[in-house]
Structure 1
Amino acid sequence: MPNLIRFTAMLKFLRRLALSVVVLLGLVVLWDVTTYDAPAWQADYRRLKTDMASGYANLDWMAQHRKLDILALDRQTTAAIDGAHSRVRAFLAIRRFIKAFKDPHFRMRVGDRPIVEAAPVVTPAEGDATEEEAFVDSPAGADCTAAGYEDANHAFVFPFARLPGWTPVRDGDFPTALIGDIGVLRIAQFGEDSYFGACEKVFKPGIGEYELKLAVRALQQEKLKQAIGELKSKGATRLLIDISGNGGGTEWVDEVIALMTDHAMSREDARMVGPVCDRSGIWRGEPVCQVLQDAPERIQLQGTGVWTGPVLVLADRGTGSASESMVAWLKLNHVATIIGERTAGAGCGYVNGGTRTQFRASPFDVMMSNCARFLDDGTNEVEGIAPDIEIPMHVEDATQQAAALAAVLAKK
């Protein structure tokens, strides 16, 4: 009987709690509906379109090459915001608008508030001040955690262990292994802030953010050189670089690319936004000037020759941004054979912070790339980079994945 009484009391409590939650949710919904300000959300949406017209590097590509009907999309979004009747539905309308572009660098995020009205919306590629005058290295913080560093997963994810002859060599930040005469090197991230242990080794009180980043980068470069050297000493004559799932990072990638050859390489430099006209008419279907500056001269990258043998690169749809730059450099200059699947299509990202729209009606910012990278055939990297040899990278059968790669390696 006492147990039955306790059970009955608990059941009554849970019913009251559930009723309270329902009432609370109802009040929240009622508040959202009664205080929704459609004109404020429309003002934010107009602000976003203005910023996109002059500061979104891929806008013209989406309209002209992907044939995205931005006029129809605009009409749908405007109508959806007007008829939203709540913040949640207005937010979802703008999110649908952004997702329609299918651009990993075009995204919403929670922004810093309050808004500094004087802050530039479109971050310029160059300023009037000299680099020395403009640059201030802000303090990194009290320790690596305060500096924003964390230890990401650096391990192999592809089922290499199922390949015949798989022999692990080292783990750590850059795991390596051997498959016969093939040395396998895993680089899971190109962002210095993904290597907490390296940060702790170089951190010192009062160090600046940029100084810390360069110190971590230098340490990681040495680790990469040591890893490659160890593979060579153990008989590797071919190098397979695994950057599957590597979503990118920083310009550090250029230094890593240079390790993989002793050749001089070149490619078209990234193109920055820089329209020479008022482009607001693009949302009315009017002819406008291009959003990007004219194509710059080709840039050069001299290999340092830490590795000089044949190179293979394993990439997949998770290989993006800075990692796609590595794929492009090595593929365009015939340094490496790319194996796997088409890359993420993140392309160029945020130079000096990129372009940002700060909403007033909600605590969200919209980030968009202010640069675009193109392959030698004129294709925007936002389309992803196709592999030279395609194999299944996302199937449930790990044995099938491993067998497909083994078949490719046997022929190379």
Structure 2
Amino acid sequence: MELYMRLLLPIVLSLLTSTASAAASFDRKAWQQDYSQLKSELVDRYANLAWKASDVGGIDLPALDRNTAAAVASANDDTQAADAIRAFIAGFHDGHLSELPYLAVATTPPIEPSRPALDPAAPIEGCAALGYASTGSVAFSLPLEGLPGFKLILDGLGSTFRAGTITRSGVTLGILRIQNFRARAFPAACLHAWADLRQAGRAITPDSMREAAELRWFHDMAAEIRALRHTGATALVVDIGNDSGGDDSGDWTPRLFTDRPVRSARLLMADASDAGRYFADEIRDINEALTATQSPDAKAALTDARSFFSQQTAAIGEHRCDLSWVWREQRAWSPTNCNRLLSAGYAGGYSAGLARNALGDSKAATALSSASTVQSFVGSWTGPTYVLADQRSYSSAEMFAAVMQDNRIAKLVGNRTGGDGCGFMTKSDPIILRHSRLRFRVPNCMRLRAKGTNEEAGIVPDISVLPTEGESERARAERALLAITNDLAGASRKPH
């Protein structure tokens, strides 16, 4: 026993010394200053702050602030204080407002490796080097593949998208899976684009591949839609469940599912330096199109667009109203209130959307509305369309769902989407807390729905198919199909 105590005593003393040392180094005041800095920077830079603090924002921000302040004040070490601040950020329920990895202080200058040369004869290695990788689940978000009568047309492995058909109540549904809204998540699109460039005798570079793969992504989608139609599909289901988002393709893609005019969402930017960078990018693209165009109509439209973004650049700093109320009370939401937000046109640029071949100049049209990129694929499908979504559909997937719903291109089926909304329209510097060096990314934009609400609230389904107790995913998949066919039957019975 005496030997045991002699062995145990140094361990206990070491633990006590370690605990005392941690307590001695803990600086509660510095953590409180970090929390004050975080709140101040959120007021300056967080596009959704006034929305979150409103009566429709989904959280009680004053209570969250009080609880966080109390947790930091009662923390006894760095871990507890850091956890309190992390819980504060998590309390916003905004996936774009999130912690970034901690960065150690650099002790030597960083050394950037050279880029590997792209061998035209090695497309698989080249696409991998360029970062093309399947980052989302190729399988349908509900196990439709395992239902009786389902026919897999394209597997989404050798093909860009997974697609198939299933017949219920005499209706053949074509089902298309979009697991991500960025071409880089689809290696097949890169391989197809690589072959296109080689066949055309064009140089294979990172820039040429990025442009070619982006267009090939839409080309392949249009081709798969045609394949579904040729196999007898009379209605289309686009599956964006478990889709974490991506890029602006969420705004462009709806144009493939209608031949009617489509309006992009209104875009707002936080009244901060990020808005200036975004406006500068837009003005640069407009100037390039102005230099290239010979069309008087295009010149006039581009000049108007440049004037708008120049005026908005000059207006940065003019909407910095007092938002300190967000930590004290909830107020009614209105996009016309002073919310420290600037109008930034629409999700695709200055214009809400242009008709196919508008202005007779594709470069000018794309500078005015980036959705014009896909004008050659417009109306690939014009029949009844449904969008299958769930609580794991985020960001660009929500942009797609909102544009489809607001423009009455499709009905949304399933569950309310996750509620991330707009994230970043341009590169944004993180918030770095001065004491702890904790780092947080901050969304700099907001997309407004047709009725003026924030897309960040999530997109509510037209046809709700919620998970229920005791029900398998296969049963819910069958129930979703039944809901769609019932809706189609109801539509066919309505007088025209």
How would you bin the TM-score normalised by the shorter chain? 0.7 to 0.9
CA contact (8 A) 1:182 1:238 kept: yes
SS at match of 2:263: strand
2:51 to 42, 61, 68: 61
Unaligned runs of 5+ in 2: 1-6, 107-113, 118-125, 198-202, 272-316, 332-336, 356-374, 489-496
Q: State the alpha-carbon separation in 1 of the partners of residues 450 and 148 from structure 2.
A: 37
* Matched residue type, 2:320: C
What's the secondary structure of 1:184's corresponding residue? strand
2:339 aligns with 290
Higher deviation after alignment, 139-148 or 39-48: 139-148
Q: Which residue of 2 aligns with 1:241?
A: 238
Find the counterpart in structure 1 of residue 408 from structure 2.
334
Deviates further, 90-99 or 254-263:
254-263
Q: 3-state SS of the aligned residue for 1:387?
A: coil
Alignment CA distance shift 1:202-1:168 (3 Å): closer
Query: Secondary structure of 2:53's match?
Result: helix
Contact kept in structure 2, 1:341 and 1:391, CA below 8 Å: yes
Cα shift readout 1:7-31 (whole Å, capped 9, x = no counterpart): xxxxxxxxx9x99999998776555
Aligned to 2:75: 84
Letter in 2 for 1:37: D
Once the two structures are TM-superposed, the CA of residue 33 in structure 1 deviates from its matched residue by: 3.2
Kept after mapping to 1: 8 A contact 2:244/2:394 = yes
Q: After alignment, is 83-92 or 37-46 more displaced?
A: 37-46
Distance 1:271 1:22, change over 3 A: farther
Contact 2:265–2:403, Cα closer than 8 Å, also in 1: no
- For residue 109 of structure 1, report the CA deviation from its aligned partner: 1.8
Q: CA deviation at 1:102?
A: 1.5
- Which residue of the partner structure matches residue 267 of structure 2? 270
Q: Describe how 1:11-90 pairs up with structure 2 within 5 A.
A: 31-65=21-55, 66=57, 68-90=59-81
Deviation at 1:34, TM superposition (A): 3.1
Q: 1:342 to 1:207 in 2, by over 3 A?
A: same
Alignment correspondent of 2:179 = 188
CA contact (8 A) 2:321 2:339 kept: no
CA shift at 1:409, angstroms?
A: 2.9
The separation in 2 between residues aligned to 1:367 and 1:225, in whole angstroms, is: 35
- Among 292, 297, 300, the alignment partner of 2:353 is 300
Counterpart of 1:383 (choices 457, 460, 465) is 457
Q: Which position in structure 2 is the counterpart of 1:318?
A: 392
Give the aligned length. 373
Asked if structure 2 preserves the Cα contact closer than 8 Å seen for 1:240 and 1:314, the reply is: yes
CA-to-partner distance for each residue in 1:125-183, whole Å, 9 max, x for gaps? xxxxxxxxxxxxxx976655554443223222312135442111111231111113211
* Cα pair 1:187 1:241 within 8 Å, conserved: yes
Check if 1:175 corresponds to 2:162.
Answer: yes
Q: 2:475 aligns with which of 388, 397, 400?
A: 400
Whether the 8 Å CA contact 1:56–1:355 is kept in 2: the answer is: no
Quote the Cα distance in structure 2 between the aligned partners of 1:110 and 1:146. 24
What amino acid is the match of 2:353? Q
Cα shift at 1:337 = 1.3
Counterpart in the other structure of 2:442: 368
Are the aligned partners of 2:266 and 2:449 in contact in 1 as well (CA < 8 Å)?
Answer: no
Partner-residue secondary structure (3-state), 1:189: coil
CA distance in 1, matches of 2:101, 2:9: 32
Which amino acid in 1 is paired with 2:162? P
- Partners of 1:146 and 1:19 in 2: CA distance: 56
Counterpart for residue 210 of structure 2: 213
What is the identity, as a one-letter code, of the residue corresponding to 2:443? Answer: S
What pairs up with 1:134-149 in 2 under 5 angstroms? 144-145=127-128, 147-149=130-132
Distance 1:183 1:333 in 2: 21
- Given residue 106 of structure 1, which amino acid in structure 2 is its aligned partner? L
Q: CA RMSD in A?
A: 3.5
Q: Is the 8 A contact 1:258 1:301 kept in 2?
A: no
Please say if 1:161 is aligned against 2:145.
yes
Per-residue displacement from partner, 1:218-266 (whole Å, max 9, x unpaired)?
Answer: 2222221221111112122211111111110001223322211111111
Partner of 1:130: none
Q: Secondary structure at the match of 1:240?
A: strand
Taking the aligned partners of 2:467 and 2:413, their CA distance within structure 1 comes to: 10
Moved more, 214-223 or 184-193: 214-223
Q: Which has the higher helix share?
A: 2
The residue type equivalent to 1:34 in the other structure is A
Indicate conservation of the 8 Å contact 1:270/1:371, yes or no.
Answer: yes
Shift of 1:188: 0.6
Secondary structure in 1 aligned to 2:448? Answer: coil
Match of 1:348 in 2: 422
Instruction: Choose which of 93, 97, 102 in structure 2 pairs with 1:106.
Output: 97
- The question of whether the paired residues in 1 share the 8 Å contact of 2:391 and 2:415 is answered with yes
Structure 2 length normalisation: TM-score?
0.67
Percent identity, aligned pairs only? 31
Between 1:371-380 and 1:291-300, the stretch displaced more is 291-300
Q: Give the whole-Å Cα distance in 2 for the aligned partners of 1:176 and 1:74.
A: 47
Does the alignment pair 1:150 with 2:130? no
Question: 1 CA distance for matches of 2:224 and 2:451?
Answer: 35
Kept after mapping to 1: 8 A contact 2:181/2:246? yes
Distance 1:308 1:289, change over 3 A: closer
Shift in Å, 1:311:
0.9
**SS of match in other structure, 1:369:** coil
Could you tell me the TM-score, scaled by structure 1's length?
0.79
How much has 1:283 moved relative to structure 2? 5.9
